[in-house]
Amino acid sequence: SQQGEEDPQALSIQEGENATMNCSYKTSINNLQWYRQNSGRGLVHLILIRSNEREKHSGRLRVTLDTSKKSSSLLITASRAADTASYFCATDAGNQFYFGTGTSLTVIP
């Protein structure tokens, strides 16, 4: 299936540390997106990276994309307690996106 898979499934860090999450997928994509979900809420779009881009920044977020390895990473620098959430990658396939199972990030104050 096209569905992305995030790694690790869960991550716990101290406030101020960096958090890195990885996403692997199986087939060619046009773009890859990262989303965040606070507990019991809908997903919020964080960043979109196109297949011809290798790196993209947005504030404390840095996303990389390696199409040869079919993988992407999301780096959150100088983490805050408010960054505690689940993070999902989504890969496109025609008219829809396929979401992975997510990485649950806990930032300890």
Partner 1 sequence: SQTIHQWPATLVQPVGSPLSLECTVEGTSNPNLYWYRQAAGRGLQLLFYSVGIGQISSEVPQNLSASRPQDRQFILSSKKLLLSDSGFYLCAWSDSSNQPQHFGDGTRLSIL
* Helix H or strand E encompassing 20: strand 19-24
Please report how close the Cβ of residue 95 comes to partner 1 at its closest, in angstroms: 4
Residues of this chain that bind partner 1 (CB under 8 A): 3, 30-31, 33, 35, 40-45, 48, 88, 90, 92, 94-102
Minimum gap (Å) between residue 82 Cβ and partner 1: 18
53, burial (CB in 10 Å: exposed 0-12, middle 13-18, buried 19+):
middle
Shortest spacing between CB 104 and partner 1, in angstroms: 8
